[in-house]
């Protein structure tokens, strides 16, 4: 038993230390994803050590202490996405239908042919903006039935798992499709005009993930997020960034994105809202995101029922309340964060100037 628990403790120590190495290889960066699962397993291992080992033996404590530290480290990353943490985004105090914007973000899975499930959700929830990821021409043909009610759209059907579509009830001004880092991975950008007449700068993203069969390193994904973050930072105009970022909410890269962009994550203090993988309840994490500027407070955020994809849709309702939200605070960047981001962007020769700035 001692040998088994020792080997398990060593394994947990390795998976905890590995992400601290900033190597961009997908195996290293992949250790960011299952922090919740690692925390649960570390708790189980800690209980086993306390129950089955001799607590008067110094060797026992040489296992217990590292396991406890691993548990604390994993918990530190995921704690902001529990109800134990203070809210970053305040709950809206009124409905304000003219100042409301609702966004449904859905990675449909290209091979999924259950379009009716998504269309049914759209008819029920009536989002102001629908963004779909992995949508090809087949999906576009089905989604176009929404155009009578959602007449504003941006369309980029692709067969490479990176197609993207936006349908909107709100006018979309200066719509643009960009290929910020990779020639076959699009992003979409527009100025959405609220019913009050206020303009909201919107960015829809789906960077390629690091992994076998994709990019062996995370640099392409990381750089796309970072140049968008630096582009929106300091903007006086309301900003919303949403999409499948192929990164978990608690990773170092996503946290760096939040710090640099000066945007807020409405999930902080509310929950994880794990949208992937829809088919495996024990292997889920938050890959679909929505971040926004301090101009908004939150009416609601919800993970919607399955549409046959490997992702659940995410539905977020924000209220444009610039005065009420002015004091909201999220994570703040320091000089080390800025230096790290700058070096990453320079390595890939990416340009912040390539990110469209609708309305500016």
Which of 136, 119, 256, 242 is closest to 190 using CA atoms?
242
CA 218, distance to chain mean position in Å, is 15
Would you say how long the chain is, in residues? 360
Residue-level pLDDT at 359: 85
- The tens digit of pLDDT for each residue in 199-231 reads 999 999 999 988 877 778 888 999 999 999 999
Whether residue 325 is preceded by a cis peptide bond, meaning omega within 30 degrees of 0, is no
Q: Could you give the CA distance from residue 245 to residue 204 in angstroms, rounded to a whole number?
A: 10
Domain boundaries, the chain: 2-81, 97-354
b/e sequence 194-217, b meaning 16+ C-beta within 10 Å: bbeebbbbbbbbbbbbbeeeebeb
Residue-level pLDDT at 214: 74
Which of 225, 190, 188 is closest to 208 using CA atoms?
225
Residue-level pLDDT at 288: 98
What is the per-residue DSSP string for 25-82? BHHHHHTTTTHHHHHHHHHHHHHHHHHHS-TTSHHHHHHHHHHHHHHHHHHHHHGGGS
Q: Are 154 and 130 in contact (CB under 8 A)?
A: no
Residue-level pLDDT at 176: 97
pTM here? 0.94
Helix segments in 283-353, DSSP class H:
335-347
b/e sequence 121-153, b meaning 16+ C-beta within 10 Å: bbeeeebbbbbbbbbbebbbebbeebeeebebb
**Fold for the domain defined by 97-354:** Deoxyribonuclease I; Chain A (3.60.10)
Positions of the chain with pLDDT lower than 70, given as ranges: none
> Torsions phi, psi of 248, nearest 5?
-80, 155
Question: Phi-psi region for residue 23, left (φ > 0), alpha (ψ -120 to 50) or beta?
Answer: beta
What is the per-residue DSSP string for 334-349? -HHHHHHHHHHHHHTT
Residue-level pLDDT at 3: 86
- The tens digit of pLDDT for each residue in 290-346 reads 999 999 999 999 999 999 999 999 999 999 999 877 788 888 888 888 888 888 887
Residue-level pLDDT at 341: 83
Q: CA angle at residue 250 from 244 to 256, to 5 degrees?
A: 85
Residue-level pLDDT at 97: 84
> What is the token pair recorded at 77?
């990353």
């Amino acid at each position: 038993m001692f040998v088994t628990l020792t080997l398990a403790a060593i394994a947990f120590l390795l998976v905890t230390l590995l992400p601290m190495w900033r190597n961009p290889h997908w195996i290293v960066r992949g250790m960011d994803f299952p922090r919740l699962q690692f925390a649960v397993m570390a708790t189980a291992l800690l209980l086993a050590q306390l129950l089955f080992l001799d607590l008067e033996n110094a060797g026992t404590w040489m296992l217990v202490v590292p396991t406890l530290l691993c548990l604390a480290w994993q918990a530190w990353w995921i704690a902001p996405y529990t109800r134990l943490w203070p809210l970053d985004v305040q709950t809206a105090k009124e409905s304000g239908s003219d100042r409301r914007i609702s966004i449904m973000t859905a990675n449909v899975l290209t091979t999924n042919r259950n379009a009716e499930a998504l269309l049914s959700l759209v008819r029920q929830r009536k989002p102001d903006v629908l963004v779909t990821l992995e949508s090809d021409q087949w999906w576009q043909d089905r989604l176009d039935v929404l155009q009578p009610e959602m007449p504003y759209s941006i369309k980029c059907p692709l067969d490479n798992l990176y197609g993207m579509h936006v349908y909107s009830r709100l006018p979309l001004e200066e719509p643009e499709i960009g290929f910020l880092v990779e020639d076959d991975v699009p992003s979409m950008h527009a100025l959405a005009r609220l019913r009050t007449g206020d303009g909201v700068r919107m960015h829809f993203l789906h960077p390629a993930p690091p992994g076998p069969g994709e990019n062996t390193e995370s640099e392409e994904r990381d750089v796309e997020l970072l140049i968008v973050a630096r582009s929106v930072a300091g903007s006086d105009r309301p900003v919303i960034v949403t999409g499948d970022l192929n990164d978990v909410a608690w990773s170092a890269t996503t946290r760096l994105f939040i710090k640099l962009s000066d945007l807020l994550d409405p999930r902080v203090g509310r929950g994880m809202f794990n949208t992937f993988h829809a088919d495996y309840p024990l292997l889920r994490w938050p890959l679909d995101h929505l971040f926004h500027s301090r101009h908004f407070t939150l009416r609601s955020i919800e993970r919607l029922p399955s549409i046959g994809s490997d992702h659940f849709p995410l539905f977020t309702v924000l209220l444009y309340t610039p005065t009420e939200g002015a004091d909201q605070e999220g994570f703040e960047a320091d000089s080390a964060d800025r230096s790290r981001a700058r070096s990453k962007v320079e390595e890939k020769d990416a340009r912040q100037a390539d990110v469209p700035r609708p309305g500016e």
